Structure 1
Amino acid sequence: MKLFGGAGPAKAGRAIELDFVRGIAIIMVMGFHFHAVHTGNYLIQIIEYPLKSFGREGVNLFFTLSGFLVGGLLLRQYAETGHVDARRFIIRRIFRIWPAYYVLIAFHVLAGRHPWNSFLVQNLTHLQNYLGTSITQTWSLAVEEHFYLVLPALLLIFSRWRLGAWTIVGILTGICAVVLTARCFAVAGGNLDGAFAYTQYRIDSLLVGVILSAIYWMKPGVYHQLAKRKWLLIFSVLLLCAWLAFATKNLVLDESIGYTIQALGFAALIVLVLEYSGSLRTSWIYRGVAWIGLYSYGIYLWHSLALAPGDMLIRKATALGLAPSLIWVVALAAQFAIAIAIGYVTTRAIEYPFLLMRNALFPEKRSSSVREEVPAAAAGGQLS
């Protein structure tokens, strides 16, 4: 796997393959949230179908990717030294996540777009996935914040007990099974909102990524054997696509076993993209999607600001009597452009300076003893 280097604290040593996966995820999320018009155009309906039908599953892809990447930060350290520096990990996460996040909260306080009681306490305490928030896209960030506390705590226990790779994989698999069982009971009891948003029902999607990361860093030979099975990976991704296309409409089914099926399929997708991107890496489409993925955290935080301009454009274009198909193209393109531009600017203006400060004050400890070819693959996650 080749690494994607470049200037800037978030680019150095990054893997373009993983930015490509991020790009797919954030495009799915934006396509699901952005407003459009009904056109009756069959070709546009085909283009729109995957975004509007299962675009929200981009968050599930983010979860599994974050588990793989953020888990790799700790598991690489565990594989190299038998210990984890949980304090440094949490501090580095704070520098990565909180500055941009709290600027978003401050913006909404100053802008007055939402009543304070609809988001402020909820978001400041990172309990918005339980208490609700009018800044709706931030619910998944709460799940990730909780994951950033749970994972190092688990690995501290594992290091104290000096557990091996397969024992760790077994324990994490057991936790995933418990989470799946609890989620099924929640769905059976009619708590679909909780099954969708509560950390105890969603953390298995992240842990599947951690399991893949454990195999990657601690059992590289097993990982390579898995990666060699290209057709198995392709088959798994095709099954994932079939599930997204046909099963996600059934919320009871999807929110029970569906999230587990998606996590496993997304794990296969991550391996497939990492190992078999080949010459696609040099194509402008691949690199364009990866470039969007590079700014995915900023885009995710701020993309809702593109909705109001999109609505305004739709109203004005409709009043002018433009064809619905043209309005659809222009409105969607404008919303994507606005969201990506805001994500780019905020990443450069907020995230990068704090990453530089973090790297100066709390540089990442690295060793050359384990998996030298991919240290940067674990340099960041979605939201990581």
Structure 2
Amino acid sequence: MRDARTTMDLPVAPDARHAAARYYRPELDVLRFIAFLFVFMTHRADLAPIDQARHPWFHAFAQIGVYGVPVFFFLSAFLITELLERERSATGTIDVRAFYVRRILRIWPLYFLVFFGLVLLNLVLPGAGADSPAKWLFFTLFAGNWYITFNGWIEYPVNPMWSLSVEEQFYIVIPFLASLGRRALVAVNVAVLAVSYGVIVWYARGFTTPPGFSGQWTNSFVHFQFFAGGMLLALALRGRRPDWHIAARAGLWSAAIAAWLVASAVCGIKADYPQSTVTESLAGWGLVLAGAALMLVATLGTPQRFLPAPLVYLGRISYGLYLTHIFFFWLVYDKCKPWLAGLGGDVGMLLAFAATVAVASVLYRTFETPFLRLKRRFTRVPSRD
């Protein structure tokens, strides 16, 4: 859900001059916003169900919206691997301490502001935030996804924060992995993919904890496949970006959506209660991974003239959009339901979207930006978050 600005095409083996150049790809900000929209539609359907008979395609797209989270994971791994490879090319090493400081300054301030802001709000608006010391501890230690995995979903506005726990767990190891060198890094990521699909098979064979709830969707080992995929793609491209006609890019996007629709409708890959066989699980999760990869390569290198400035901006503030949108959905569809009766679910969705964009924009300008400026002091390869 973050990162960077550049205008150059890199050769297969970028030298130190290229590695030190400013890196920013505005088209990937657009991809971030699209990933957020997928998640946004899923949460809308959670609280205001879509009539499948009347709106089959709307319903189908809402069902695959959960796969927006893997896109965030895939994109994050791709960008960070690219930046670390450039840093190593430019300096001969990777500054692990600076990496951790950059990630802390990027992720922690807004995360803790929203999480503990909801905890305080829960005192006057029950259901708004985590309501127990155990939840506070797990989410403070970025292990919130494991709490949900073994206990089930918690307060609705807090649930999406499980993905930040998975990302932070990835950030712990990636600078060390990147230090191994290309061949070792490829081997490690192939092993990670094998572990991920081993865990997927384990779930497909009937493992559930607690009884009746599948913790598959929030299990770190399941989602590590997307980080491995993003890293492998970055290593394969070596700084290059596809120079394709816009029609080819549209075709790849169509293929990605088709892969996701099959994963959901045929293979049963769901966020809550998957009912897939081993074969369906392996095929379905593979299609989710393939869809995320296709979306990234279809977007990477898109000419500036095809990138509407408002979408680039919305992608830049997508972190705030992601953390806050679920609260506004809950507020509109749960707490304000008596006042919105008869207006329809679409009105509530528009209200929630408008409030989310407004709040995320204010947070980005007034709260996130000072930390991003401080973060640049620890940047070895100039980029833009």
Q: Shorter-normalised TM-score: what interval?
A: 0.7 to 0.9
Distance across 1 between alignment mates of 2:163 and 2:205: 23
Distance across 2 between alignment mates of 1:75 and 1:127: 28
The equivalent of 2:321 in structure 1 is 299
The equivalent of 1:208 in structure 2 is 229
Contact 2:42/2:66 (CA < 8 Å) preserved in 1?
yes
Label 1:328 to 1:3 Cα distance change in 2 as closer, same or farther (>3 A): farther
The equivalent of 1:371 in structure 2 is none
- Whichever structure has more helix as a proportion of its residues is 1
Q: Note the residue ranges of structure 1 that are not aligned, 5 or more in a row.
A: 5-11, 367-374
Does residue 332 in structure 1 map to residue 342 in structure 2?
A: no
RMSD across aligned C-alpha pairs, in angstroms? 3.0
Does residue 261 in structure 1 map to residue 287 in structure 2?
A: yes
The equivalent of 1:180 in structure 2 is 197
Distance across 2 between alignment mates of 1:174 and 1:65: 20
Does residue 80 in structure 1 map to residue 99 in structure 2?
A: no
Q: Deviations over 1:189-228 (max 9, x none)?
A: 43473332121221111111111112233xx5xx56x766
The equivalent of 2:13 in structure 1 is none
Match of 1:193, SS state, is coil
Distance across 2 between alignment mates of 1:176 and 1:74: 21
The equivalent of 2:271 in structure 1 is none
The equivalent of 1:152 in structure 2 is 175
Label 1:315 to 1:256 Cα distance change in 2 as closer, same or farther (>3 A): farther
Distance across 1 between alignment mates of 2:143 and 2:370: 27
Distance across 1 between alignment mates of 2:51 and 2:250: 34
Deviation (angstroms), 1:261: 2.6
Label 1:29 to 1:334 Cα distance change in 2 as closer, same or farther (>3 A): same
Label 1:125 to 1:48 Cα distance change in 2 as closer, same or farther (>3 A): same
Matching residue within 21, 27, 33 for 1:17: 27
Distance across 2 between alignment mates of 1:274 and 1:309: 36
Deviation (angstroms), 1:127: 1.0
Distance across 2 between alignment mates of 1:265 and 1:231: 17
Q: Deviations over 1:169-194 (max 9, x none)?
A: 24322321232223222332434733
Q: Deviations over 1:87-133 (max 9, x none)?
A: 11011100100011111122122212341336211111111111125
Higher relative contact order (CA 8 A, sep 6+): 1
Label 1:168 to 1:40 Cα distance change in 2 as closer, same or farther (>3 A): closer
Residue identity over aligned pairs, in percent, reads 24
Deviation (angstroms), 1:139: 0.7
Matching residue within 57, 70, 95 for 1:60: 70
Distance across 1 between alignment mates of 2:282 and 2:137: 30
Distance across 2 between alignment mates of 1:189 and 1:38: 29
Does residue 102 in structure 1 map to residue 112 in structure 2?
A: yes
Label 1:264 to 1:121 Cα distance change in 2 as closer, same or farther (>3 A): same
Match of 2:215, SS state, is helix
Deviation (angstroms), 1:335: 0.9
Distance across 2 between alignment mates of 1:195 and 1:309: 28
- One-letter identity of the residue aligned with 1:209: G
The equivalent of 1:130 in structure 2 is 146
Q: TM-score, normalised by structure 1?
A: 0.78
Label 1:57 to 1:125 Cα distance change in 2 as closer, same or farther (>3 A): same
